[in-house]
Amino acid sequence: MTGNPKRVAIMLDLQWPYKRHASTFAGTQQFAKEHGWHSIIDEFAHDTLPTRRGKQIPYDGVIARANHELAERATRLGIPVVNMWASSPVWNKLPGVFPDFDASGQIKAEHFLSRGLSNFAAMTAFKNRGQSMEVDQFRKVIAECGYDCVIANSPQSLSRSLDHWRRTRELVEAWMDRWVLPIGVMVGGEDLGRLVVQMCHERDWRVPQDVAIIAGQNEENLCENPSPSMTSMEFGYERIGYRCAKLLQHLMDGGTAPDHPISLSPSGLVVRESTDFHAVQDKLVADALDYISRNSHRHIGQHDVSRAVNAETRTLQLRFRKFLDSPIATEIRRVRLERAKRELVQSDRRIEHIARDVGFKTANRMCEIFRRELGITPTDYRKERKIRGNP
């Protein structure tokens, strides 16, 4: 590498320990190490940049949750900026890299539909562009199937004060009063998702049997605990950070900005207890599905499921085909596959260990299922959803 290292300002609100901040930062730093950048964390880069040409310019480029002042000063100085904040007031005035919120909304809708649901609700934060895009696509997909969605908005912050918290609960209460159970509920943030779960319990509504919930962007601590764990969307913000850095390098080298913001597909839905069920009217099938969900990590088959619900295997098979249009073995395989996908994305554990723990007898069997169902090997599935050198 020749010449002085590029000096790049990082303005990502790192005091907030969210993936969309910290993981994006991690992605930028991987690229920075590979390309010898000098990264400077500057949460006030919009003020650090001089107001006019002629003064020393401290940075060669900026990656930021961009605001108006940063956009104006950087444009005046000719400093490239890459924005990673979809709700930025200047999202359409600067080159940007964002999650594909349309794809996320579609994935969430399809997940609920695959669970047999026909009632839906969504609550997102006011003035959150990404969440609004998700809901628009979510509504479009379910509308094509003939269904409607109960929409409401929440404040950006749920608990600025006691009065604010009480107002938030009132908004959620009014929204929930409009639901028809069983229902699939899409919630913008994990904190709001936890509040919804708590308020469902207060009404003696079961999660997921009465209310299936998808919430947030896979902040693991809030998604995993307390029970029930919450299904959530993993966007892969490390990849977004890396792609931001790659685009900034292109711009600092004199390249032209893309005509539109770059959208990166989500890594996938991390399915947990809050949606791990099928909405079926048949109690025998519902009991069987519950058993599969709790025991799929064991080496169970259709006869084990039948015995667990005190039914003849043939009778249960007929019920599965009537209500789910698939055999018992397909549901066992689906649950194992979803859990394997989650493990591959969220951990670096060996393939054979994951295969064993999610219920596949061997790694080869898991590879066979991945190839048949997804057209890809587990190893390649993991690689596609990790940070890539050429995302």
Q: CA–CA separation, 60 vs 368, rounded Å?
A: 49
* pLDDT for the residue 244: 97
- pTM tops 0.85: no
- All domains of the chain, ordered by start, with CATH? 7-99+237-267 (3.40.50.2300), 101-234+270-275 (3.40.50.2300), 283-385 (1.10.10.60)
* pLDDT for the residue 224: 86
How many residues in total does the chain contain?
391
* pLDDT for the residue 3: 66
* pLDDT for the residue 1: 43
Residues of the chain with pLDDT under 70: 1-3, 54, 346, 385-391
The count of other CB atoms within 10 Å of the CB of residue 162 is 8
Between the alpha carbon of residue 169 and those of residues 152, 163, 164, the distances in Å are: 13, 10, 9
Q: CA–CA separation, 10 vs 62, rounded Å?
A: 6
10 Å CB burial of residue 40 (0-12, 13-18, 19+) is middle
* pLDDT for the residue 45: 94
Q: Does 58 sit behind a cis peptide bond, omega within 30 degrees of 0 on the bond before it?
A: no
